[in-house]
Every structure is written in structure tokens, then in C-alpha cells.
């Protein structure tokens, strides 16, 4: 088959497999056409093979990235273009490295190199400053959570490994059939593929049908104010938002309500951190708690802290342009207010590239100045914290993980809250930047993966998006649709048990990095002995 068509086919299959509209079974052979195209090029006599491999791979990944994440354009066209084109190039680079390696090494060693290289790339996308793990392959099963209940042992890297094992097996089977033209080869391939798909599914179905946990019942309310973030949200005062908070809460509150949860930056008007405790805004929330002494109020807020002491400057500190020798830290925070005296605060620590985080400032700032990629929100460096803070209820029974927006995409990151004794997850987000697209749907869908990995129930409050209650099996038990203003009430169950994944984290990725280094060194010092 024409190599260009093979490249196009892989891109289309990857796109058709992706949540929330796709069917993830397609992932098990999505890379096969591209692998065949690379194999044909490697064995051909054409010149500039590496450039052609990169070009074909880039086309595949450009199709996949563009179709699945084009919703970014509603926040900012440049930001969308940057994310799509650069991420496609990084993925194509992986196939180029595989091509170079395969020219020197055996088929099995080369394919092992490709698998561990891809997994290592996904891990990089979780930890570096240009982090963008949206298309990590393990996320592709988020709408079919009954298939991947074993994520409580492996995390999403188990799904990535599953995908690649099947792709490698099918690729090798196709090459063997092309060489031998034997029906026996096809039969053997089908049996192996069936086993590698069916056995994990059966294990997952078994866990899914039997899983349960015991814990305390938490009565929760998730608010969905449905405020337009491009205009209305940043033109209202926090006192007005407080009134909206009480209005929505009063529509559902009862004497048994334990938590009321409002979305990310619900209190959008920047508030000076040290003045908050004595503010009229805080006083309004305190009075509401006096009327409902058992209630814990969890909300997002924008804080800032100005100072003149150079010793307090951090990498994330901003310069205040209007006053000499003045700096400020800007926080995207979550607050818990209850009948206890102290206010609990957590600062968002996984930041959106370009809006909340200026990556590699020492290198890029001299080149592009203060320009930042606007993916929605306020354009300012946000200040983070090193630990995953957990909010404790006034009765000390409930410990909520205050996960802010983008943080919910990071599996191992979320386990940090659970290791700090969170017994349920509270996701607060603002998904209105992307309009009625796959953006907010995928974001909700990925939250279900965190429920399975940690076996924690989730209450999710979205400004505009989909507010939902998700159980520990990853099932959405109730929700508010996109664009609807209101409050969602329901019950979740706490869980104090720790899953293997919470304890071990992304161990599959770490093992892959080790194997990548080992196999890579072999690739440099040993010549190949066989050719597939």
C-alpha cells in the first residue's frame, strides 16, 4: 500500500479511537499502518529516509492531534496551533529515533526500543514544563472504565503498554504473513490478539462486578454557576459571587449537608492574601457557616501577595511594573471555610503552559520577552506549592483532595493527595473556555480514571462544563449538563484504603526509562545480526 495512505490511515484510526466519541479497540492496531510505512521506507533504496519517516509520522500525528484537541482554538488560535504542531513534531521525533535505531539493530530489540521510548515520552509529558499529557494512550479508555478496572494497579501506563503490545504483535504478524503467505500465521495472530485483549477485559470485568468499599457517607453539593469566563466572570465583584454562592447553595442545602463545593476561581476578583481573613467577603462566608455549622465550604479563589523583600522572590514571582522594587506572587487557590477558626488553603501546582506557567524562562524570556500562550484565564505566572494539601472537615471525619482543573489529568500527581490521607476527591474546574466541544467532555472523562486509580469517589464542580458525582468504579452517578446553571446534590462514600498504584505510582514508566537507557546503550555499541 502507498506509504502516504498508510500514514493517513494511522492518523484517522487514532482519532476515531479517542474519547469521548471514539471506540478504543481501534487503538490496538492504530500504529500498524505507520509501522508498515516506516518498514517499507527502511528497506527501500530511496534517499533521505529519515526525513521521509519524520514527514509521514508527522502527518499521522498531526491528524490525531488536530482532530482530538482542535477545541483549544476556542481559547486561543495561536495556543491551539502551538500545542497541535509541536506535540505532533515530538511524536514524529519518536518514530524518527526508532527508524534510526532499527537500521542498526534487530527487529525485536528495535520494537522494544520504540515501546519504552514512547512510554518514556508520555512520562516526560507529565513532568516537564511543556507538559501536555492529554493524548497519553492510557487516557483513551476513559469512556470504557469497565475495561480498565486494573488501573488501580497500573495507572494509565498500563493502558499505554496494553496498546503497544497489541500493535507490535499485529505488526510482526502482518510482516510474517507477507513473507510466508500462510493462513496458519493469521490464525496464530488472531488467537494471540484475542487472548491479549480478552484476558485483561475479563480481569477488569471481574473487578468491576465485585468491587465495593465501606466508609462514611458525605452529603455534597456541587455548584455550577454557568458564568461566561470571557466577559461576565471577570466583571463581577467577589461579593456578588458570594451572593450567587449562597443562592445556588440554598436551593439544595439541608441539615445533613456536609460539603458545598464551588468551581475553580469562582471568586475571580483578585484578593490580597493577607487581607482576606479580615475582609467583608470572609465575614459573609463566616455568617453563612454560623447558620449551617456542619457545612464545609470549598471554593476556588484568586489570591495575590505583594512584597518588597528580594529574599522572598521565587522562580514563579512576578514583577509589579507600576512600583519600583515591588514583586507579587499570584495564586490560583482553593479554600475551605467551616466552623473552625482557621481557613485551609491549597495553591494549584500543575499549571497550564503559557497562561499560568512560563516554561524555561531563562532560555525563552530573552527571546520572546513576556509573551505567553493564552489558553484561557489570566495571563500571569502562578505560584505553586510542593505538597498536596488536603482539606479536613470541621468534624475531622472527611478529608477532601482539592484538585484544581488541569491537575485532574495527572494520575501520579493525584495520588499525592491520597497518600496525604484524602478519603475523597473534590475537582473544581472552569471548562467554559472551549465552548460546547470535546474539551470539557474529555476533561470530565479523564476524571473517571482518577477514581479507578485511587478508588476514591469524586465530586466535581465546574463553572461551565459538566458538574458530576463519580463513584470509585469510575461511574458517573449524577451530573448537570453543559450550559445549565444550578446545584447538584448527592452522596459519596469515603475510602481510607490505599491502592497499589497510589503506593507505587508510575512504576511502569520508570521501568521503561531504565530499559530505554539499557537498550539504547546496546544500540550504540552492538551492530544488528538479523533483519525482519
Residues 402, 367 share a domain: yes
Name 155's Cβ contacts closer than 8 Å, sequence gap at least 6. 138, 411, 412, 453, 501, 505, 506, 508
Residues 516, 422 share a domain: no
Residues 310, 342 share a domain: yes
Q: Indicate whether 501 belongs to any domain.
A: no
Residues 512, 403 share a domain: no
**What is the pLDDT at residue 435?**
80
Residues 250, 174 share a domain: no
DSSP state of 357: B
The answer to whether 319 and 327 are in contact (CB under 8 A) is: yes
Residues 510, 428 share a domain: no
Helix (H, G, I), strand (E, B) or coil at 212: coil
**What is the pLDDT at residue 532?**
45
- For 365, phi and psi rounded to 5 degrees? -65, -40
Residue for cell digits 462544563?
Answer: 465
Residues 226, 355 share a domain: yes
Residues 331, 419 share a domain: yes
The answer to whether 225 and 463 are in contact (CB under 8 A) is: yes
The answer to whether 47 and 183 are in contact (CB under 8 A) is: no
Q: Indicate whether 237 belongs to any domain.
A: yes
Residues 170, 317 share a domain: no
Cα separation values, 21 from 24, 69, 425, Å: 10, 13, 26
Q: Indicate whether 531 belongs to any domain.
A: no
Residues 241, 168 share a domain: no
d(CA 428, CA 436): 19
The answer to whether 469 and 501 are in contact (CB under 8 A) is: no
Q: Indicate whether 187 belongs to any domain.
A: yes
Helix (H, G, I), strand (E, B) or coil at 426: strand
Residues 393, 259 share a domain: yes
Task: Give the global pTM.
Answer: 0.94
Residue 257 sits in a domain whose CATH number is 3.60.110.10
Q: How many domains does the chain have?
A: 2
- Tell me how many helices (H) and strands (E) the chain has: 15, 14
Domain containing 176 equals 3-211+506-525
Q: Indicate whether 434 belongs to any domain.
A: yes
**What is the pLDDT at residue 376?**
35
Distance of CA 41 to the CA centre of its chain: 35
Residues 127, 227 share a domain: no
In the chain, which stretches have pLDDT less than 70?
Answer: 1, 232-233, 358, 360-380, 524, 526-532
Q: Indicate whether 341 belongs to any domain.
A: yes
Q: Indicate whether 178 belongs to any domain.
A: yes
Q: Which helix (H) or strand (E) holds 458?
A: strand 458-462
Q: Indicate whether 89 belongs to any domain.
A: yes
Q: CA 266, 269, 270, 274: dihedral to nearest 10 degrees?
A: -80
d(CA 57, CA 427): 36
Name 498's Cβ contacts closer than 8 Å, sequence gap at least 6. 418, 419
The answer to whether 390 and 416 are in contact (CB under 8 A) is: no
Amino acid at each position: 500500500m502507498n506509504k502516504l495512505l498508510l500514514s493517513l490511515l494511522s492518523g484517522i484510526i487514532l482519532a476515531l479511537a479517542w474519547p469521548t466519541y471514539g471506540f478504543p479497540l481501534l487503538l490496538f492496531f492504530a500504529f500498524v499502518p505507520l509501522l508498515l510505512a516506516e518498514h517499507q521506507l527502511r528497506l527501500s533504496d530511496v534517499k533521505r529516509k529519515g526525513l521521509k519517516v519524520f514527514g509521514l509520522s508527522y502527518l499521522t500525528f498531526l491528524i490525531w492531534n488536530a482532530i482530538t484537541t482542535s477545541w483549544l482554538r476556542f481559547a486561543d488560535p495561536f495556543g491551539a496551533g502551538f500545542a497541535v504542531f509541536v506535540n505532533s513534531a515530538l511524536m514524529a521525533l519518536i518514530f524518527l529515533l526508532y527508524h534510526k535505531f532499527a537500521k542498526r539493530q534487530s527487529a525485536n530489540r528495535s520494537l522494544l526500543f520504540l515501546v519504552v521510548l514512547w512510554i518514556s515520552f508520555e512520562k516526560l509529558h507529565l513532568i516537564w514544563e511543556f507538559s501536555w499529557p492529554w493524548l497519553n494512550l492510557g487516557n483513551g479508555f476513559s469512556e470504557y472504565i469497565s475495561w480498565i478496572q486494573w488501573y488501580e494497579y497500573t495507572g494509565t501506563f498500563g493502558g499505554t503498554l496494553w496498546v503497544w503490545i497489541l500493535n507490535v504483535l499485529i505488526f510482526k504478524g502482518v510482516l510474517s504473513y507477507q513473507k510466508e503467505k500462510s493462513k496458519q500465521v493469521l490464525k496464530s495472530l488472531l488467537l494471540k490478539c484475542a487472548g491479549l485483549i480478552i484476558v485483561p477485559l475479563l480481569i477488569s470485568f471481574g473487578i468491576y462486578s465485585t468491587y465495593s468499599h465501606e466508609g462514611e457517607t458525605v452529603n455534597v453539593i456541587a455548584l455550577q454557576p454557568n458564568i461566561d469566563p470571557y466577559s461576565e466572570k471577570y466583571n463581577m465583584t467577589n461579593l456578588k459571587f458570594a451572593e450567587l454562592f449562597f443562592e445556588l447553595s440554598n436551593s439544595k442545602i439541608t441539615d445533613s449537608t456536609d460539603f458545598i463545593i464551588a468551581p475553580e476561581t469562582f471568586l475571580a476578583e483578585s484578593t490580597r492574601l493577607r487581607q482576606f481573613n479580615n475582609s467583608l467577603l470572609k465575614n459573609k462566608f463566616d455568617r453563612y457557616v454560623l447558620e449551617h455549622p456542619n457545612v464545609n465550604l470549598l471554593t476556588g479563589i484568586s489570591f495575590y501577595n505583594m512584597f518588597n523583600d528580594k529574599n522572598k522572590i521565587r522562580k514563579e514571582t512576578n514583577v509589579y511594573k507600576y512600583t519600583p522594587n515591588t514583586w507579587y506572587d499570584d495564586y490560583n487557590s482553593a479554600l475551605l471555610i467551616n466552623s473552625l477558626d482557621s481557613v485551609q488553603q491549597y495553591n494549584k501546582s500543575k499549571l497550564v503552559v503559557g497562561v499560568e506557567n512560563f516554561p524555561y524562562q531563562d532560555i525563552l524570556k530573552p527571546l520572546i520577552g513576556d509573551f505567553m500562550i493564552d489558553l484561557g484565564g489570566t495571563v500571569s505566572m502562578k505560584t505553586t506549592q510542593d505538597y498536596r494539601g488536603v482539606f479536613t472537615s470541621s468534624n475531622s471525619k472527611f478529608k477532601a483532595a482539592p484538585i484544581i482543573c488541569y491537575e485532574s489529568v495527572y494520575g501520579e500527581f493525584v495520588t499525592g493527595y491520597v497518600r496525604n490521607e484524602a478519603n475523597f476527591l473534590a475537582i473544581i474546574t472552569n471548562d467554559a473556555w472551549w465552548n460546547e466541544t470535546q474539551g470539557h467532555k474529555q476533561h470530565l472523562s479523564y476524571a473517571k480514571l482518577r477514581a479507578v486509580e485511587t478508588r476514591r469517589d469524586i465530586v466535581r464542580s465546574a463553572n461551565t462544563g459538566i458538574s458530576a458525582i463519580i463513584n470509585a468504579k469510575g461511574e458517573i452517578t449524577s451530573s448537570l449538563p453543559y450550559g445549565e446553571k444550578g446545584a447538584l446534590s448527592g452522596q459519596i462514600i469515603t475510602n481510607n484504603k490505599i491502592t497499589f498504584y497510589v503506593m507505587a505510582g508510575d512504576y511502569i514508566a520508570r521501568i521503561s526509562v531504565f530499559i530505554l537507557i539499557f537498550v539504547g546503550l546496546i544500540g550504540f555499541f552492538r551492530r544488528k545480526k538479523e533483519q525482519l
